[in-house]
Chain A
Amino acid sequence: MMEAISPTYFVFLSLFIFCAGIAIIIIKRSAIFVLIGIELMLNAANLNLVYFSQYDPGMNGLMTSVFVVVLAAAEVAIALAILLNIFKHYKITDPDELTSLKN
């Protein structure tokens, strides 16, 4: 068993990743990047869950993180499909330019 790493690092790492995700979501114009930002945020949360689940004998945090991973995968798959179709249709990826859902 390795020496326990101080939780501070994990928290800061996850914070960093989360903030990076937020920054990407806010700054990047492409919807793909927005998706990436969302993935980052989700995984930042996962990191916290995984880490702190070691203190939980029921492993609820770990289970949740597995759920989140599955959810994220599904979400990304659908989102990418939508984005692909939008791109095919409008040739755009910027969500702000997408003003109408119909035609």
Chain B
Amino acid sequence: MTDSLLTLIIFFPLLVTVVILFLPKDKDLLIKEIALGATAVQLILSVILFFSYDAALQPESWSNAFQFVERAKWISLYLGDYGWLQIDYFVGIDGISLLMICLSTFLLLVGVVASWNLNKNVKGYFILYLILSTSVVGCFAALDFFLFYVFFEFMLLPMFFLIGIWGGPRRGYASIKFFIYTLVGSLFILAVMIGLYLSVEDSSLTGQGQEVVHSFSLVNMMDGGYITDGILTPGTSIEFWGMNIRWVAFLLLMVGFAIKLPAVPVHTWLPDAHVEAPTAISVLLAGLLLKIGGYGFFRIAYGIFPDAAVNLTYPIAIFGMISIVYGGLTAMAQNDLKRMIAYSSVSHMGFILLGLASFNVQGAGGALFQMVSHGFISGALFILAGVIYDRTGDRGIANFSGLAKAMPVFTGFVVIFFFASLGLPGLSGFVGEFLVFLGALGSDYLPKWIGIVSISGIVISAAYYLWALQRMFFGKFWTREKVWEQTMYDLTGRELLLLIPLAILVVLLGVAPNIILGPVNNSIEFFVNQCFAQSQLYIAQ
């Protein structure tokens, strides 16, 4: 069972998609139930994955750092002078991807429940949804760059349609903006991928002939299986615009993943996409798709180019700092609740950049924890924003006041998640921020002032959340349109079903963060140590 567990998790939804494909179009409820079942199975499988993951493993090199590895030849082509092209179906996880997969499967299940009330072309929606879930999980498990890229790009298609068909009034604009932004980002990644492919060989396969076997395997890339004179081989003297080509490649990757993350100044697709996307898709967008950017930093940008990363900590940290502060400031300027939450995501994603830039265990662990915790919190926040939108079709902060009177339970949840997001200790948002600050201020590579300026982010986030809380939920009960007052009923059972598990998780992770950081601690330590060791090795070359 555990031999092919990963493949099962990845492709189970796709299998179910085939089943849904043959169902008649009008069996809405059945389709929803099947989708729910599929994501539930996926979640159960990933829980099994979490518990059968060997936390005690202390790897020596990347080649044995991964568990649940499955590898099969996929494409093998002889390209004459260019040697062999070898693409594998190669999946496996370490602690970093383990957490991301568990987060994904959980949020995917939440997303199905959140879209239960959907009634417009249900079949198409859930087919796209399940395709998306396959590609998201696949992205986190892929150990072959080509496979990663395929999953990475494949995510775009369902997302584009999910926003473009089921979205709000300006969905066309938003979905195209999202698509183009992400596509541009992935072009950068593609360029680096080709460069890496040309400089990496799979030494285990070279024996077949005289030709070099080029490989897309991320493990080979991270372990430094470079050919002697490839373009991106460490120590290369090739320069591009006066910069070492490895630095250029690293920067291209950073830009590519920063668009996905998103970091300032390439973040403007996010608010538009969020505002137009339906609630469940917002949850996935904030909870998962942004994390793929962060995961890309970990696995690809930092894992493969540690030498460039260690030299470029300063600008990365500054961009992280700018994202934190600037994202918070712009969040405060928003009038739409969902836009505000979207900008707060930008601010919180800045912590990931800052944590990675600090290049130590605390920073990296904080960045990882921040990804998980932000997945839960922002998911819940978008569900909460969706609740108001469901009732009234409006989300303007200025259009409501004193909602606590009409919806006390709802307000209770809003308070919990707002405080979680503004980093109240005891809730999960704090842990990531704390670790990142610990990393950033204790880093050997960063000046103190970057960390100190970033700490002001916790004041700013408190400012906009509490301001929104005061304007929308406190004061006299009032809504812009009189008819809304009748529809302002409190949370339904389904909404409670969504929010209670999220609230429990947020509290649990805030009180005992080690339940998820403990099992993956070895992975994080290995990641940081290996990045550091290899950066020294590469720089010496």
A and B touch in the complex (CB under 8 A): no
Residues of A at under 8 Å CB distance from B?
Answer: none
Residues of B at under 8 Å CB distance from A?
Answer: none
